[in-house]
């Protein structure tokens, strides 16, 4: 009998966590065009989170136009002090009367084409390859700057607030096997995540042409109390664990179908009973940019076995009968006429 193990994609607006937090950075003044206010929206992280942060971003590419044409064409802006200051070379300078439109992309070596200004935003095409889910993709669209007398009297760096253009994914497992039964979940993978995609940046950012397959390794499942080196934790009954790694995926509408594989070891207390290998399909989940997804499965006696195996059966006991006593056997005991010690 085939059984299905369902993952719950946290898809409702109230249950889908946007990857964001707040951070404030002081900005020094300079007459050169500078980008010292690089800020990255981030969510809460597992042990291994591949997301860029302000501290680990390191560099990004800047694109910029005035009304006269393009002045930045993917120039690298870098930080060597954990994101406190950002520099590039050679410097460019503000020219009075010009209107400046900027955009930022990270990683700095991301393949970008077809840049153009439309309204107050730079439109472009980004071709992205997701090899193993460990490379983030960021985009920033700061406000236009008019270099008038007021601005030139109080010059500020271009404020770059980056947003994640990929979806971040992890898996959680709940042990509902029953009292005294523990589980370990290992080797969690998506075997067919989309490998390449095209991000068209315009009035809205739209992903298309998601093709190819790549494997994403989420590692073993750990608990809050046991996070050492991707070693699978023992998950007690009615407790929950999550994958050691989070991985990044190319966004896609709800037509995407993904194959998840993992193994579950069943333990009676501390004694290993059996290991079951699973292949599960996730479908009808829309992956959106800048959102975190936690796919959760509850493991029970009905679904822990491999799909073609029968459900685990409870060990039961019954009493057929109680054998009757053997009839009394008469034995003669001689009682002495005198007692020892008299």
Q: What is the pLDDT of residues 127-184, one digit of tens each?
A: 999 999 999 999 999 999 999 999 999 999 999 999 999 999 999 999 999 889 999 9
CATH number of 176's domain = 2.60.40
9 belongs to a structural domain: no
36 belongs to a structural domain: yes
Q: What is the mean pLDDT of the chain?
A: 83
Tell me, yes or no, whether 189 and 126 share the same domain. no
Counted domains in the chain: 2
Q: Which residues contact 30 (CB under 8 A, 6 or more apart)?
A: 155, 157
pLDDT of residue 336: 76
Question: pLDDT per residue over 277-314, tens digit each?
Answer: 988 888 888 899 999 998 988 898 888 876 667 666 55
Tell me, yes or no, whether 36 and 159 share the same domain. yes
Say yes or no to pLDDT of 23 above 80: no
Tell me, yes or no, whether 210 and 234 share the same domain. yes
Say yes or no to pLDDT of 315 above 70: no
Of 111, 131, 164, the last residue of a domain is 164
Per-residue pLDDT, averaged over 197-216, amounts to 97
Query: What are residue 18's DSSP bridge partners?
Result: 291
pLDDT of residue 303: 86
Report the distance separating Cα 70 and Cα 58, nearest Å.
24
Q: How confident is the model at residue 120 (pLDDT cuts 50, 70, 90)?
A: very high
Give the pairing of strands 145-146 and 99-106.
Answer: antiparallel
Tell me, yes or no, whether 149 and 183 share the same domain. no
pLDDT of residue 132: 96
pLDDT of residue 313: 59
Tell me, yes or no, whether 24 and 160 share the same domain. yes
11 belongs to a structural domain: no
pLDDT of residue 339: 60
Q: b vs e for 187-216, b when ≥16 Cβ sit within 10 Å of the residue's Cβ? A: ebbbebbbbebebebeeebebeebeeebbb
Tell me, yes or no, whether 198 and 277 share the same domain. yes
Tell me, yes or no, whether 154 and 206 share the same domain. no
193 belongs to a structural domain: yes
Tell me, yes or no, whether 23 and 141 share the same domain. yes
Per-residue pLDDT, averaged over 195-205, amounts to 97
100 belongs to a structural domain: yes
Give the pairing of strands 159-164 and 37-40.
Answer: parallel
Tell me, yes or no, whether 151 and 187 share the same domain. no
Tell me, yes or no, whether 155 and 254 share the same domain. no
8 belongs to a structural domain: no
Tell me, yes or no, whether 176 and 156 share the same domain. no
320 belongs to a structural domain: no
Between 65 and 48, name the one with better pLDDT.
65
Helix (H), strand (E) at residue 193: strand 181-201
pLDDT of residue 117: 97
Tell me, yes or no, whether 160 and 27 share the same domain. yes
Report the distance separating Cα 240 and Cα 243, nearest Å.
11
Query: What is the domain extent for residue 25?
Result: 17-164
Between 333 and 199, name the one with better pLDDT.
199
């Amino acid at each position: 009998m085939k059984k299905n193990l369902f993952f719950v994609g946290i898809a409702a607006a109230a249950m889908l966590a946007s990857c964001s937090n707040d951070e404030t950075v002081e900005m020094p003044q300079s007459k050169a065009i500078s980008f010292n206010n690089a800020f990255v929206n981030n969510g809460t992280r597992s042990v291994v989170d591949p997301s860029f942060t302000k501290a680990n971003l390191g560099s990004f590419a800047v694109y910029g136009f005035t009304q006269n044409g393009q002045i930045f064409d993917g120039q690298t802006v870098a930080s060597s002090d954990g994101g406190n200051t950002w520099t590039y070379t050679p410097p460019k300078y503000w020219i009075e009367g010009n209107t400046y439109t900027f955009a930022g992309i990270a990683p700095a070596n991301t393949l970008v084409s077809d840049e153009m200004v439309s309204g107050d935003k730079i439109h472009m095409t980004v071709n992205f390859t997701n090899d193993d889910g460990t490379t983030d993709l960021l985009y920033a669209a700061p406000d236009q700057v008019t270099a008038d007398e007021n601005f030139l009297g109080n010059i500020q760096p271009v404020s770059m607030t980056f947003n994640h253009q990929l979806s971040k994914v992890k898996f959680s497992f709940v042990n509902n096997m029953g009292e005294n039964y523990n589980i370990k979940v290992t080797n969690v993978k998506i075997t067919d995540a989309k490998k390449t995609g095209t991000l068209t940046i315009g009035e809205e950012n739209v992903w298309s042409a998601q093709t190819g397959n790549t494997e994403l390794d989420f590692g073993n499942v750990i608990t809050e109390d046991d996070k050492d080196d991707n070693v699978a934790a023992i998950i007690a009954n009615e407790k929950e664990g999550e994958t050691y790694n989070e991985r990044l995926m190319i966004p896609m509408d709800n037509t995407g179908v993904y194959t998840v594989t993992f193994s579950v070891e069943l333990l009676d207390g501390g004694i290993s009973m059996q290991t079951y290998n699973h292949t599960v399909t996730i479908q009808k989940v829309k992956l959106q940019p800048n959102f975190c997804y936690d796919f959760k499965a509850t493991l029970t006696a009905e679904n822990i076995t491999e799909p073609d195996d029968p459900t685990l059966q409870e060990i039961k006991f019954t009493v057929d009968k109680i054998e009757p006593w053997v009839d009394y056997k008469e034995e003669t005991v001689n009682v002495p006429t005198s007692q020892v010690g008299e």
